[in-house]
Amino acid sequence: MLGTIVNTATILVGGTFGALLRTGIGEKYKKALFNGLGLCCLVLGTNAALPNMSKSEYPVLFILSLAVGAIIGTRLGLSERINRVSEKNRGAVNGLVTGILLYCIGTFSIVGPLLSALSPSHGWAFDEPGNTFLYTNATLDFVTSAVLSASYGWMMLLAAPVLFCWQGMFYLIAYFCSAAMPEPMRVELSIVGGVLILSSGLSILGIKDCKTVDLLPSLLVPVAFYLLKAVFC
Pairwise CA distance, residues 187 & 179, whole Å = 15
pLDDT on residue 130: 65
The predicted pLDDT at position 182 comes to 61
Calculate what percentage of the chain has a pLDDT beyond 90: 33
As a whole number of angstroms, the distance between CA 11 and CA 139 comes to 9
Q: What is the pLDDT of residues 3-24, one digit of tens each?
A: 899 999 999 999 999 999 887 7
Contact, 45 vs 197, CB < 8 A?
yes
Q: Is the pLDDT of residue 179 over 60?
A: no
- pLDDT at residue 93, as a whole number: 84
> Do residues 178 and 172 make contact, with C-beta atoms less than 8 angstroms apart?
no
| Per-position DSSP letters for 159-184, written without gaps between them | HHHHHHHHHHHHHHHHHHS-TTSHHH
Query: φ and ψ at 26, to 5 degrees?
Result: -70, 165
d(CA 170, CA 177): 10
pLDDT digits (tens, 9 = 90+) for 123-155: 677 776 668 888 988 988 998 899 889 888 898
Q: Which helix (H) or strand (E) holds 158?
A: none
Residue 70: which residues within 8 A CB-CB, separation 6 or more? 214, 215, 218
| Cβ-count burial 37-53 (b if 16+ within 10 Å, e if not) | bbebbbebbeebbeebe
Which band of pLDDT confidence, cut at 50, 70 and 90, is reported for residue 95?
confident
